[in-house]
């Protein structure tokens, strides 16, 4: 795609540099980096049974999807240490906090960037209701994510000319792909009811067990509160003819009507499935010059034939997993999708109803060598000077997996490029 310096060999050292891998160092993993990567300490027998069911259905067991091959089923690792999340703030910012050349300004909303002769030199901020400006001597690095970064660029006059004209924003550079190419993994959350009370829905509906989970975490940093939302991964090929996995599972021994809501009051688990390389493309477009007004997020999920077909196939694939010897003794009934949905059309309709984002928006300030791309392979915003973007928005295409570690890799690589230029 013309992004020289971003091939596998070139980016692997940055993944390794970031990492402090509990299982030790090898060809694919690093130790001693700021980002703690640890093994899951919490499980449920139903998780093992799902893992065995996927294997029974033809996907190999693979304990390291970030190793030599991605295909396979196993337990997720966590960016956590001793049961506590290792966010990028914990990993990077905390240890840099006391540097004399770092000032952290919180409760601050970036409104737009200011330029002199097309060189970015000012960040316009509102802090606790007061306007404020920060001046840059060298350059500005924008890291507001795949929704925030294109919004700020558009508000600063870098974006599709027609959109900026619509909002009477002075055009600094006509860059039609600022906010275009929005990609995401759409998760279809299938939910199955179980015969026995073996899920977290059961454990956490009981006040005593809830208390015990709280104590377990407070005293030992273990138990359900130390876990990620998902325990088991599976990277599968919906068709054996596919060269590499096209879908990913996030298996959870719990269920809720939607992510972040309370658990269901019946025994059930969730097998969320998403397409790894969707073709659908959406957009981020400002709807106001007021930076506090959220931009319009138009995801356009399931808008191509391949994406629709994969959604249908992934639901059929899930049903096959539920019919395996390892799983069928648990499954009392299919809750989502509707068990009556059988034809392709009915399954697609179900997918549209029960799917939602898995929170992996990318590619809205796409890196590339072509004239429409927003940043060059050095992450410099085209058409202006002194401005880079370093976040998930620069991915030319969404990665075939979770987006957090690749975004941290982008940060690591950006840091080297900036230092090299100085
Ligand atoms: C609920 C949830 C669960 C997730 N789970 C996983 C997971 O399990 N595994 C995984 O790999 N990935 C996961 N992700 C995705 C992962 O968190 C993102 O891919 C990653 O954080 C992207 O990093 P980023 O730097 O591009 O953007 P962000 O992390 O979003 O950082 C952008 C920052 O800019 C700030 N900002 C934006 N606009 C402005 C403005 N105008 N002024 C000031 N500040 C601004 C935002 O507040 C934010 O702090 C999850 C995401 C969510 C939301």
Is pLDDT of 414 > 90?
yes
pLDDT digits (tens, 9 = 90+) for 311-349: 999 999 999 999 999 999 999 999 999 999 999 999 999
Name the CATH superfamily housing domain 42-77+184-199+226-357.
Glucose Oxidase, domain 3 (3.30.560.10)
Specify the domain boundaries for CATH 3.50.50.60 within the chain. Answer: 105-181+362-421
CA 97 to chain centre: 26
CA 205 to chain centre: 29
The arrangement of secondary structure in 105-181+362-421, i.e. its CATH architecture, is: 3-Layer(bba) Sandwich (3.50)
pLDDT digits (tens, 9 = 90+) for 216-256: 999 999 988 888 879 999 999 998 778 999 999 999 999 99
Say yes or no: CB of residue 360 within 6 Å of ligand 1: yes
Q: State pTM to two decimals.
A: 0.97
Residues annotated catalytic, as ranges: 360
Q: Which atom of ligand 1 is nearest to the CA of 260?
A: 1
**Cα distance from N-terminal residue to C-terminal residue, the chain:** 27
Closest residue (by CA) to atom 48 of ligand 1? 144
Closest residue (by CA) to atom 24 of ligand 1? 145
Exposed / middle / buried, residue 367 (Cβ in 10 Å: 0-12, 13-18, 19+): buried
Say yes or no: CB of residue 109 within 6 Å of ligand 1: yes
User: pLDDT class for 56, splitting at 50, 70, 90?
Assistant: very high
Supply 399's token pair. 């990665």
Say yes or no: CB of residue 373 within 6 Å of ligand 1: no
Instruction: Note the pLDDT of residue 260.
Output: 80
Say yes or no: CB of residue 411 within 6 Å of ligand 1: no
Instruction: Note the pLDDT of residue 254.
Output: 96
Identify each DSSP E strand in 60-212 by its residue range: 72-75, 77-78, 80-81, 84-85, 108-116, 119-127, 130-135, 140-142, 158-159, 173-174, 186-194
Ligand 1: centre distance to CA 362 (Å): 10
Supply 221's token pair. 């940093």
Is pLDDT of 95 > 80?
yes
Ligand 1: centre distance to CA 145 (Å): 6
Specify the domain boundaries for CATH 3.30.560.10 within the chain. Answer: 42-77+184-199+226-357
Say yes or no: CB of residue 391 within 6 Å of ligand 1: yes
């Amino acid at each position: 795609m013309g992004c020289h310096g971003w091939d596998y060999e070139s980016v692997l050292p940055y993944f390794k540099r970031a990492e402090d891998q509990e299982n030790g160092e090898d060809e694919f993993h690093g130790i001693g980096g700021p980002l703690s990567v640890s093994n899951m300490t919490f499980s449920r027998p139903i998780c093992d049974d799902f893992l065995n069911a996927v294997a029974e259905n033809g996907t190999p067991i693979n304990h390291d999807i970030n190793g030599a091959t991605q295909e396979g089923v196993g337990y997720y690792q966590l960016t956590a240490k001793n049961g506590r999340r290792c966010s990028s703030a914990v990993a990077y910012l905390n240890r840099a906090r006391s540097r004399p050349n770092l000032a952290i300004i919180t409760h601050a909303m970036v409104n737009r960037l200011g330029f002199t002769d097309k060189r970015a030199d000012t960040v316009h901020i509102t802090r606790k209701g007061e306007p404020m400006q920060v001046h840059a001597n060298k350059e500005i690095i924008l890291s507001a994510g795949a929704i925030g970064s294109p919004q700020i660029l558009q508000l600063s006059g870098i974006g599709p000319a027609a959109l900026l004209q619509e909002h009477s924003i002075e055009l600094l550079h006509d860059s039609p792909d600022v906010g275009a190419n929005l990609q995401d993994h759409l998760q279809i959350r299938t939910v199955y009811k179980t015969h026995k009370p073996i899920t977290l829905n059961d454990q956490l509906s009981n006040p005593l067990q809830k208390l015990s989970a709280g104590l377990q975490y407070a005293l030992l940093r273990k138990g359900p509160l130390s876990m990620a939302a998902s325990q088991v991964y599976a990277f599968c090929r919906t068709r054996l003819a596919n060269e590499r996995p096209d879908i990913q599972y996030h298996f959870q021994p719990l269920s809720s009507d939607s992510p972040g809501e309370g658990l269901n009051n019946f025994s059930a688990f969730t097998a969320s499935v998403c397409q790894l390389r969707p073709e659908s493309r959406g957009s981020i477009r400002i709807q106001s010059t007021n930076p506090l007004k959220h931009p319009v997020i138009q995801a356009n999920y399931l808008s191509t034939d391949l994406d629709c077909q994969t959604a249908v196939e992934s639901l059929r694939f899930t049903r096959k997993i539920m019919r395996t010897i390892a799983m069928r003794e648990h499954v009392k009934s299919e809750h989502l999708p509707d068990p009556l949905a059988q034809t392709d059309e009915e399954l697609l309709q179900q997918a549209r109803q029960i799917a939602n984002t898995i929170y992996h928006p990318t590619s809205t300030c796409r890196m590339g060598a072509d004239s429409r791309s927003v940043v060059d392979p050095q992450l410099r915003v085209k058409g202006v000077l002194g401005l880079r973007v370093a976040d998930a928005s620069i991915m030319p295409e969404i990665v075939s997996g979770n987006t957090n570690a690749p975004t941290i890799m982008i940060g690591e690589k950006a840091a080297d490029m900036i230092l090299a230029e100085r």
